[in-house]
Amino acid sequence: MTDGVTIGQAAAFAGITVKAVRHYHKHGLIDEPRRDNSGYRRYGSADLLRLVQIRTLAAAGVPLAEVGAILDADPDRFAAALVDVERRLNDRIDDLIARRETLRRLAAGDRALLPDSVLAKLDRVAADLDFTPDDVTMAREGLVLIRALVPEGFDDYVSRVESGLDDPRYVSLVKRLWGAAEWEPDDPRVDELATAMADYYLSHPALLPIPAGLRAGADGAIRYSLLAHHGEEQKPAWIRLRALFEARMRSAGIDIV
Amino acid sequence: MTDGVTIGQAAAFAGITVKAVRHYHKHGLIDEPRRDNSGYRRYGSADLLRLVQIRTLAAAGVPLAEVGAILDADPDRFAAALVDVERRLNDRIDDLIARRETLRRLAAGDRALLPDSVLAKLDRVAADLDFTPDDVTMAREGLVLIRALVPEGFDDYVSRVESGLDDPRYVSLVKRLWGAAEWEPDDPRVDELATAMADYYLSHPALLPIPAGLRAGADGAIRYSLLAHHGEEQKPAWIRLRALFEARMRSAGIDIV
DNA sequence: CGTGCACCCTGACCTAAGGTCAAGGTCAAT
DNA sequence: ATTGACCTTGACCTTAGGTCAGGGTGCACG
């Protein structure tokens, strides 16, 4: 009359693996049961119920180190612990739902990190200026960087650019700037464009594209540099364009970096 | 002109730890950046964007081993992978919500594992028979075991017991059975009760409490034994009661175990 | 009666996604 | 010149088990 079930049957009953049961033994969550005369563990009904309780708590995300204490607590503390477990489970669920939102935005590009209003503006501007999808991506990445590196200056920057876009001369410059992505670095138009941009910014100092906040603080130069170099790997003409533009500005007394 | 940010700044930007960034390097999720002349890593803007993408996928539960392939895939496969990731995330959310339900039932006892209709019946019976809370718990555990060990016979068992409860003689037997929990094992009433139970079951064979399905299959005897012994540690009189009852049944030609 | 197969035993090592610690180099400021 | 915050590598720790090795047990089939 071998009494009780073997570890495999107990595990199947509780919906877990044999190894998990032995793991629970090793960590003291459930006492070792009687052994039969060949050394096999033999589980009784109380063990099976205990295994189901352990599994239920573990599946709810309770660390095994706490499960034992919870199950052995008196009814009041047991109930309190369950309330706490449910709270933590709710937090995890809410967290995953938030991550799902972020993920959805990642699926539509890097829109995740920009406010919807800015994205709508970007889409309008992209249509006006005949941006390619790659251009839109790069512009978006630039905005993400600005927002991440200078959060307090981001809204200001967006509204400055937006008001600038009312001026046909500014629009024309931006168009030529993006067109320059396709130029060879030694194209003579690079020089012309750098001059035109410097002239424009010098006559509209409020429009200086990197807001003042960027250069405040110790690491301002680093931030500016990071931003200014963004995308240059893909657009060689921009490297020279930026150098020329900075030189023009510096010679006009505006020390950019 | 030290160009780029250090690992600590990059990690803060992406909302992760320095160690996580190094971990991503080791696993090839992001290339090692340039080092400055003191050996520090220097991250550029593209690296920062990559880190944010990695973090977003990892936070959605994508194993790091897959994150690299997803981010380096062409746009079509990238989009498909994100759809897949979102599906898995939804599964995890649904799973956690289900676990929360199970947990709530655990908080109210072991109700988790029984259908509501059965619980309602149990509550009514418990009120009729003046069960103590401990009695209710033990009865519930017995039902959980029956359901787990003989799932296909559970409904049948419940309806047999329910119809039996229409008979005052059966109700009286059940009351005495639970009352016996308090008796000493050598109480003469144990003998009386065993005889009365055997007589009753012999005249109502349809009521045999362990449904036929229990003894079907190779491990039927083990299952029965597990059930029959449940609770005996706490109720010594039941051990003798069960032995006497089984002997009476056997001598009437019904071989229980 | 032996052989295969499924199950059990222990113990040692492996996993993912980092965390922690040690021992030392670097940077900016005081 | 020293403090404190940051960086470097490398080795070990963590959770909740999974996998493998080497060996024992129980039962059915030929």
A3: nearest CB among B86, B144, B225: B225
Q: Which bases in strand C are touched by protein, i.e. have an atom under 7 Å from a CB?
A: 7-10, 16-20, 25-29
Q: Which bases in strand D are touched by protein, i.e. have an atom under 7 Å from a CB?
A: 6-9, 15-19, 24-26, 28
Residue spans per domain, chain A: 1-59, 73-107, 110-251
CB contact under 8 A, A113 and B52: yes
**Nearest nucleotide, CA A23 to C1':** D17
- Strand D and B189 CB separated by under 7 Å: no
Half-sphere exposure of A179 (CA within 13 A, CB side): 12
Could you tell me which residue, A238 or A210, shows the higher pLDDT?
A238
- Strand D and B18 CB separated by under 7 Å: yes
User: Using 50, 70 and 90 to split pLDDT, how confident is the model at A11?
Assistant: very high
CATH ID of A1-59, from 1.10.565.10, 1.10.1660.10, 3.50.50.60, 3.40.50.300: 1.10.1660.10
The nearest alpha carbon in chain A to B78 belongs to A107
Q: Tokens at residue B243, please? A: 């032995």
- Which residues interact with strand C by a CB < 7 Å criterion? A 6-9, 18, 22, 39-41, 218; B 16-17, 19-20, 23, 36-39, 58, 63-65
pLDDT, tens digit, for every residue of A222-255? 666 666 777 666 677 887 887 887 788 778 777 6
Residue partners of B126: CB distance under 8 A and separation at least 6: B135, B136, B139
Nearest to B249 by CA among B228, B226, B218: B228
pLDDT, tens digit, for every residue of A153-180? 677 778 878 887 888 888 888 888 888 8
Alpha helix segments (H runs only) across chain A: 7-14, 18-26, 45-59, 64-72, 75-107, 116-128, 133-149, 154-164, 168-179, 188-203, 212-215, 220-229, 236-251
Q: Tokens at residue B126, please? A: 């418990």
Residues of chain B scoring pLDDT < 70: 1-2, 109-113, 148-153, 208-226, 232-234, 255-257
The whole-number pLDDT of residue B223 equals: 64
pLDDT, tens digit, for every residue of B180-205? 888 888 899 989 988 988 888 888 87
Task: Give CA–CA dist A70/A58, Å, rounded.
Answer: 11
Write the CATH number of the domain with boundaries B7-105: 1.10.1660.10
Distance B37 CA to D9 C1' (A): 17
The nearest alpha carbon in chain A to B103 belongs to A56
Task: Give CA–CA dist A144/B50, Å, rounded.
Answer: 12
